[in-house]
Structure 1
Amino acid sequence: MITNQSANTAKATLGTGCFWCTEAVYQSLDGVISVVSGYEGGHKANPTYGEVCTGNTGHAECVEITYDPTKITYQDLLEAFFRSHDPTTLNRQGNDVGTQYRSVIFYHNDEQKQLAETAIKELDKSGAYNDPIVTEVTPAETFFEAEAYHQNYFINNPNQGYCAFVVAPKVDKFRKVFKDKLKPELAH
């Protein structure tokens, strides 16, 4: 789906592995209006979570972010993207393995494409990572919203095992690094 962007909002679609982690990270940033977990980059219409988890649909777990570019820039979102996961591991984030967990930026316009490609080149050149970045940069096409129980997953299930032991530490670490970009109610 090609998304319309008004002067007040813009879209970014990013995959950093499990969308529960990605959603929780971006929900904490000031200027982010909404974060929707879903699937993109595959060949099957309206895939289910179970189908995506097989790795056979070609989709990546990702989030579609609606943000206010007067409060947070696409570059800020990219910085959060690269700092919140390992962009050097192909089809893997921690114990999550498969093409559905790939590092991917689905760009919505030429400016986003250029900014993503430039960020990758600069990070590789800087030696920020020991290995080359393998993040895929591809045009946004059709985003399929994940099932309702995946939305706001960390907020709704903080004591669930994966949330308590994987998502929570990741979000805590992220909030310490990005404390100047957090929503006011989270910046203590």
Structure 2
Amino acid sequence: MKTIYLAGGCFWGTEHYFKQIHGVVNTTVGYANGNTENPTYEEVCSDTTHFAETVRVEYDEKKVPLFFLLRMYFLTIDPTQVDEQGADKGSQYRTGIYYEDEADKAIIEDAVAEESFAFSDPIATEVMPLKNFYAAEEYHQDYLDKNPSGYCHISPELIKMARETQRIDD
């Protein structure tokens, strides 16, 4: 199994979206690359901890390659926005791709470069090694499964597309 950390605005929708993709085996919402230990949601929302709402995506690279996951990720965000996605504003809603495996960096950079052709503004999505990650409180985990009418910045059409996308057969 491989792991990538994706910050795409509100982590509820980002987690729900990636859970639908064939080859993703586990997701955890949390806070990445901040400057304190064990932050709470309230602290992250205070805009003082510099954490990004992030989803840890564990996936089987034999079923879904990283480049494909990143292409799916870019469908859900505006990578040119700084510190916001959809209706959510604040540094915790910035976009970012955080990696543990240095070998993933070139794949990520290629995906970002490809994405940059679609925009006239520069890509603002952070690309950097994972500094730290803390799982969010339990009520945030699988939030949209527990609260199907909860807020989600990702369109139902994209969620459906993710569910129907079969990348590589078992």
- The answer to whether TM tops 0.5 is yes
1:161-180 residue pairs with structure 2 within 5 A? 162-163=151-152, 166-167=153-154, 170-176=155-161, 179-180=164-165
- Deviation for aligned residue 1:179: 2.9
> Are 2:155 and 1:155 aligned?
no
**Structure 2 letter corresponding to 1:181:** Q
Q: Give the corresponding residue for 1:115.
A: 107
**Structure 2 letter corresponding to 1:32:** V
Which residue among 124, 129, 133 is the counterpart of 1:143? 133
Q: Is the 8 A contact 1:40 1:141 kept in 2?
A: yes
- Deviation for aligned residue 1:177: 6.6
- Deviation for aligned residue 1:178: 6.8
CA–CA separation in structure 2 for the residues paired with 1:58 and 1:100: 7
How many residues are matched? 168
CA–CA separation in structure 1 for the residues paired with 2:58 and 2:19: 10
Q: Which has the higher helix share?
A: 1
Q: Is the 8 A contact 2:47 2:91 kept in 1?
A: yes
**Structure 2 letter corresponding to 1:129:** F
What TM-score results when the alignment is normalised by the length of structure 1? 0.83
What TM-score results when the alignment is normalised by the length of structure 2? 0.92
For structure 1, the 5+ residue unaligned runs are 1-8
Structure 1 stretch displaced more, 32-41 or 115-124: 115-124
Structure 1 stretch displaced more, 102-111 or 29-38: 102-111
1:98-137 residue pairs with structure 2 within 5 A? 98-124=90-116, 126=117, 128-137=118-127
Instruction: Extract structure 1 runs of 4+ deviating beyond 6 A.
Output: none
For 1:128-153, what per-residue CA distance to the aligned partner results, in whole angstroms no more than 9, with x for missing partners?
A: 12322111011112210000000000
Q: Is the 8 A contact 1:24 1:171 kept in 2?
A: no
Question: Kindly tell me: are residues 133 and 60 of structure 1, through their superposed partners in 2, closer, same or farther at Cα, counting changes over 3 Å?
Answer: same
